[in-house]
Structure 1
Amino acid sequence: MRVLVVEDDDRVAGALCTVLTRHGFVVRRACNGEQALSAGTDTDVVLLDLGLPDVDGFEVGERLRHLSDVPIIMVTARSEIADRLRGLSVGADDYLSKPYDLRELIARIHAVTRRASHAAVPAQRTGSVTFAGGIVLDFDTRTVRVEGREVLLTRKEFEVLAVLARSPGIAVRREQLMGAVWNTSWKGTERTLEVHVASLRAKLGVPEAIVTVRGVGYRVLA
């Protein structure tokens, strides 16, 4: 498995690359954001530090997500919940604060790549579906348009919308959404789900299209 380590600290990067190589990973390193954007589309997973010298790590993550569906794990000393939520909202698949146990990092690498290899959008649904506000979701091309205008979504945002769009008008439980998109039913993921729904509403420009069903979850208006 190919891993891109985006880290400007030579000491930290050297130690991490050595350990990952010993565990059988093919490791490349990027020292700054521009190098990460150049190399991040040709790897299996990106370990992204946020304190980069040229481009803010959050911006790198967001730009990289628009270029590719490569799994991204933000690995950083920033441990505040606001930073975690921001990282997940711009497209990161996971967020790990320093200092961390290397065994946990390796386990998370395997987890995000395993989830990426199983497309979260169910295979039994193909074609497209249209719902409130002129929103058209195409399951085959993984695109979303509103009144003919394409809306760029992160992979997780698309998957949340796709799960809801499978059954327009029917409420989907939070646990179902978390299981389908994040492969977990852990309650701590609920806030992440709320952030993604809020981002979807803002990007689509039709906030009423996704309805919060109190005590249950969400549904899209048919």
Structure 2
Amino acid sequence: MNKPRILIVEDDKAVRNLIATTLETQGYQYFTAETGAISILEAASQQPDIIILDLGLPDMDGMDIIRKVRTWSNVPIIVVSARSDDQDKIEALDAGADDYLTKPFSVNELLARLRVTLRRISYDREKQGKSSSVFINGDLKIDYAAGCVFVENREIHLTPMEYKLLCVLAKNAGKVLTHNFILKEVWGNPMPADTPSLRVFMATLRKKIESVPSQPKYIQTHIGIGYRMLRIAEENTNL
């Protein structure tokens, strides 16, 4: 794909310049917005491939921007914020953000998150032109039509709940999914107390698909937040 067009939404000039310079050195195209109102106009008119969003803007909260953009676009949104509380991360991800990076951050970590997101964009676009009845990620294969899972060409027998859990992760590969999102997708209308059950099912699923469950290569844990299905060869970055 061509170099992506990235919208930087950040009111702090120093941080905005740091991100812009980082993108420029990598050959990315970018444009900026200093307020929420301008960012929404830019997102609608310029249709960026990725949005890098600060939550603490002078005219509106970044959470509201995520919700507004999500009413008409699935553009990946990477939050870069000084808010480090897990609840803030969960709220942003549940609102529709794809990833969350806490300030202060390293430019290498930001670039790693961008590469992860770009690979997901590339995969999604490729999938649109092919049959989506089969998911392949490294040695992991899911045949949705047959309801079968294979690892290294060997069929793995999953329980119905484990299979549903794996499919939710696979269909959102590369995106951080909160506990609440996964519970809603798998169980319907979960109670917060269901989170321990999710951890149990995740542990049994990992034992079946991971060669070394204690060092998973497919399912990444974001402690206190949720899980992400990694694309093989993605950087193992954490929130």
What amino acid maps onto 2:9 in structure 1?
A: V
What amino acid maps onto 2:99 in structure 1?
A: D
Contact 1:178 1:193 in 2 (8 A): no
Which one of the candidate residues 95, 99, 110 is aligned to 2:115? 110
Contact 2:6 2:52 in 1 (8 A): yes
Which one of the candidate residues 70, 73, 77 is aligned to 1:65? 70
What amino acid maps onto 1:10 in structure 2?
A: K
Alignment of 1:1-222 (within 5 A): 1-41=4-44, 42-119=47-124, 123-125=131-133, 170-171=160-161, 172=163, 174-183=165-174, 192-197=177-182, 207=189, 215-216=200-201
Runs (5+) with no aligned partner, structure 2: 134-143, 148-158, 203-239
Give 3-state SS (helix, strand or coil) of 1:16's partner. Answer: helix
- Report the CA distance between 1:32 and its aligned residue: 0.7
What amino acid maps onto 1:60 in structure 2?
A: I
Contact 2:93 2:178 in 1 (8 A): no
Contact 1:6 1:46 in 2 (8 A): yes
Counterpart CA distance in 2 for 1:123 and 1:62 is 31
Give 3-state SS (helix, strand or coil) of 2:78's partner. Answer: strand
Contact 2:168 2:182 in 1 (8 A): no
Question: Do the aligned partners of residues 28 and 183 (structure 1) sit closer, same or farther apart at CA in structure 2, a change above 3 Å counting?
Answer: closer
Q: What TM-score do the two structures reach when normalised by structure 1?
A: 0.64
Q: What TM-score do the two structures reach when normalised by structure 2?
A: 0.59
Task: Please identify, of 7-16 and 65-74, the stretch whose mean Cα deviation from structure 2 is larger.
Answer: 7-16
Question: Do the aligned partners of residues 92 and 165 (structure 1) sit closer, same or farther apart at CA in structure 2, a change above 3 Å counting?
Answer: farther
> Which segments of structure 1 move beyond 6 Å, counting only runs of 4 or more?
164-167
Percent identity over the alignment? 30
Contact 2:82 2:104 in 1 (8 A): yes
Runs (5+) with no aligned partner, structure 1: 126-163, 218-222
Aligned length: 167
